[in-house]
């Protein structure tokens, strides 16, 4: 089985939802057969590079609330995060995540995608690091296991893995995702939002029980099996 998770590093419910999904997965009997792939989704593709817009100011403007009210909203999210054992501090910076998604695709190609996503989440939500600074991105990426040369290449070339990010985003739209996190099991079942662990466990269970591959009819099977291989013209 394969689970694809569309998410954005800027999305608190993706950060929390990842931990909940992993708890659900850990409780699933056939967890060893599950592969997880992270897919790109930008909540705010037009955001500037993350430099000096505080999320608290962005929230206050977006929801038309005071800074104190924005702080209270964030505090409630922080409590929810804490219940999953996740650090969550106010003070993070709002900004574009395209380069982070490109690096996550490089991470996928090098087998370190999951570790890199965890590192980005931690840097953003627990440490409020300035993710608009290429030197910071480089340090995080290399720390998560991306080869230095590859990190440098991706950061220097804004086209690197850009196609892959766009393809993920197009697929999210085609599959009907309007927000994130969005979880898709074997391209058959979708789950929207950072649901409780038990919801994920049950969905995995259901997908596992209902796995049924339809064998398409085809011509002469040129196949090898227990009794040997088909021989042409025989």
Residues 34-63 that bind a copy of itself (CB under 8 A): 43, 59, 62-63
Nearer to a copy of itself, 157 or 222 (CB): 222
Q: State yes or no: residue 80 binds a copy of itself (CB under 8 A).
A: yes
Least spacing, CB of residue 71 vs a copy of itself, in Å: 12
Nearer to a copy of itself, 11 or 155 (CB): 11
Nearer to a copy of itself, 88 or 130 (CB): 88
Q: State yes or no: residue 118 binds a copy of itself (CB under 8 A).
A: no
Nearer to a copy of itself, 135 or 217 (CB): 217
User: Which residues, numbered 163-202, are part of the site for a copy of itself (CB under 8 A)?
Assistant: 163, 167, 170-171, 174-176, 178-181, 184, 186-196, 199
Q: State yes or no: residue 109 binds a copy of itself (CB under 8 A).
A: yes
Buried/exposed code over 175-186 (b: 16+ C-beta within 10 A; e: otherwise): eebeebbbbbbe
Q: State yes or no: residue 33 binds a copy of itself (CB under 8 A).
A: yes
Q: State yes or no: residue 222 binds a copy of itself (CB under 8 A).
A: yes
Q: State yes or no: residue 219 binds a copy of itself (CB under 8 A).
A: yes
Q: State yes or no: residue 214 binds a copy of itself (CB under 8 A).
A: yes
Joined together, the tokens standing for residue 28 give 């699933």
Question: Which of 109, 103, 137 lies closest to 123, judged by CA?
Answer: 137
Least spacing, CB of residue 206 vs a copy of itself, in Å: 8
Q: How many CB atoms lie within 10 A of CB 88?
A: 22
Residue 51, C-beta contacts closer than 8 angstroms, at least 6 positions apart: 93, 95, 130, 132
Least spacing, CB of residue 7 vs a copy of itself, in Å: 9
- What residue ranges in 47-168 does DSSP mark as E strands? 53-54, 93-94
d(CA 2, CA 185) in angstroms, rounded, equals: 6
Buried/exposed code over 31-62 (b: 16+ C-beta within 10 A; e: otherwise): eeebebebbbbbeeeebebbeebbbbebbbee
Q: State yes or no: residue 27 binds a copy of itself (CB under 8 A).
A: no
Nearer to a copy of itself, 149 or 214 (CB): 214
For residues 11 and 181, the answer to whether their CB atoms sit within 8 Å is yes
CA 204 to chain centroid: 18
Q: State yes or no: residue 12 binds a copy of itself (CB under 8 A).
A: yes
User: Which residues, numbered 119-158, are part of the site for a copy of itself (CB under 8 A)?
Assistant: none
């Amino acid at each position: 089985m394969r689970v694809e998770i569309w998410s954005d590093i800027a999305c608190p419910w993706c950060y929390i939802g990842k931990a909940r999904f992993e708890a659900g997965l850990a409780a699933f009997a056939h967890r060893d057969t599950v592969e997880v792939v992270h897919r790109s989704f930008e909540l705010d593709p037009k955001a500037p590079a993350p430099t000096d817009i505080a999320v608290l100011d962005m929230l206050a403007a977006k929801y038309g609330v005071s800074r104190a009210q924005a702080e209270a909203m964030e505090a409630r999210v922080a409590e929810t995060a804490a219940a999953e054992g996740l650090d969550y501090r106010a003070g993070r910076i709002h900004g574009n995540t395209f380069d982070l998604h490109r690096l996550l695709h490089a991470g996928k190609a090098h087998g370190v995608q999951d570790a890199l996503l965890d590192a980005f989440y931690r840097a953003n939500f627990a440490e409020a690091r300035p993710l608009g600074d290429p030197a910071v991105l480089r340090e995080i990426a290399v720390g998560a296991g991306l080869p230095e040369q590859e990190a440098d290449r991706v950061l220097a070339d804004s086209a690197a893995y850009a196609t892959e990010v766009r393809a993920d985003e197009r697929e999210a739209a085609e599959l009907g995702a309007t927000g994130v996190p969005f979880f898709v099991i074997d391209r058959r079942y979708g789950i929207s939002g950072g649901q409780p662990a038990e919801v994920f466990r049950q969905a995995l269970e259901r997908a596992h029980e209902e796995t049924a591959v339809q064998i398409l009819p085809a011509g002469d099977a040129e196949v090898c099996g227990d009794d040997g291989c088909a021989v042409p013209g025989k």
